Amino acid sequence: MISIKSEQIYELEKHYRISLINSLIGYKSLNLLGTSSNDGITNLCLISSAFHLGANPPLLGIVMRPQREHNDTLNNIRLTGQFTLNNVLPAWYMQAHQTSASYPAGVSEFDACGFKKQYVQGFKAPFVAQSTIRIGLDVRELIDMDINGTTIVIGEIVQILTDDAMIAEDGTIDHTKAETMTVAGLDAYFLPQPVGRLAYAKPGIEPRQLTKEC
């Protein structure tokens, strides 16, 4: 067993530290984040920081890195107040990873990486046609973090585009059927296998598996 303490973390080689810290919390939600400028120039990037904030109102958060001149995604989010999250499938996860390359301003990762845009009337941000779970969000809050220059974007879910078959009877998304992938750290991609769904936990009652399939 090893124990790495604060001082040692700061002394680690930069890339080693980034890989370690990024991968500590385990598997992360993996989505393609779609935006558009007011002129209709689209942007697409991979994001693994999405977290559930609450179901009523239906809210989630994402973390955007410190603003730089070419950070078109955060600019678009600030200007249009809308973005989309779209799940990543094994058939094209390499193309999804490729959206993280630094393309020059004016080049859309939709075109450069082979993704098809899908639009919904009255909603500015583009969805990814190849995805099986697509979420459209209105920005509700932007929290600029003094501690490290990132911005936490809080969005309200206002659009859900999917297939009926992807939603289980109780409302839970069937991510096995949807072929949703997950990521650990910066670049390790995984496809989860179901272990079990468990019954609502109550004190004094043994935990119980509802189904083997998820």
Residue 127 in tokens: 């969805």
End-to-end C-alpha distance for the chain, whole angstroms: 34
Q: Which stretch binds its own copies (CB under 8 A): 32-40, 67-75, 76-84, 178-186?
A: 178-186
CB of 76 to its own copies, least distance (A): 19
Q: C-beta of 156: minimal distance to its own copies in Å?
A: 8
77-106 binders of its own copies (CB under 8 A):
85, 87, 90, 93-95, 97-104
Count of residues that bind its own copies according to CB under 8 A: 113
Q: Which CB contacts under 8 angstroms, 24+ apart, belong to 185-188? A: 185/19, 185/22, 185/23, 186/18, 186/19, 186/22, 186/23, 187/97, 188/23
Q: Is 40 in the site for its own copies (CB under 8 A)?
A: no
Task: Work out whether 114 is an interface residue with its own copies (CB under 8 A).
Answer: no
Place of tokens 């509700």: 140
Query: Considering beta carbons, is residue 38 or 105 the nearer one to its own copies?
Result: 105
User: Among all chains, which residue has been given the structure tokens 């079990």?
Assistant: 196
Based on CB atoms, which residue is closest to its own copies, 26 or 40? 26
Site string for its own copies, 45-84 (x = CB under 8 A): ---xxxxxxxxxxxxxx-x---------------------
Q: Which of 7, 78, 84 is nearest to 37 (CA)?
A: 78
Q: Tell me how far apart the alpha carbons of residues 148 and 33 are, in angstroms, rounded to a whole number.
A: 22
Q: Within a 10 A sphere around the Cβ of 71, how many other Cβ atoms?
A: 16
CA 39 to chain centre: 25
| Contacting its own copies within 116-175 (CB under 8 A) | 120, 133, 135, 140-141, 143, 145, 147-148, 150, 152, 154, 156-164, 167-168, 170-173, 175
Asked if residue 181 binds its own copies (CB under 8 A), the reply is yes
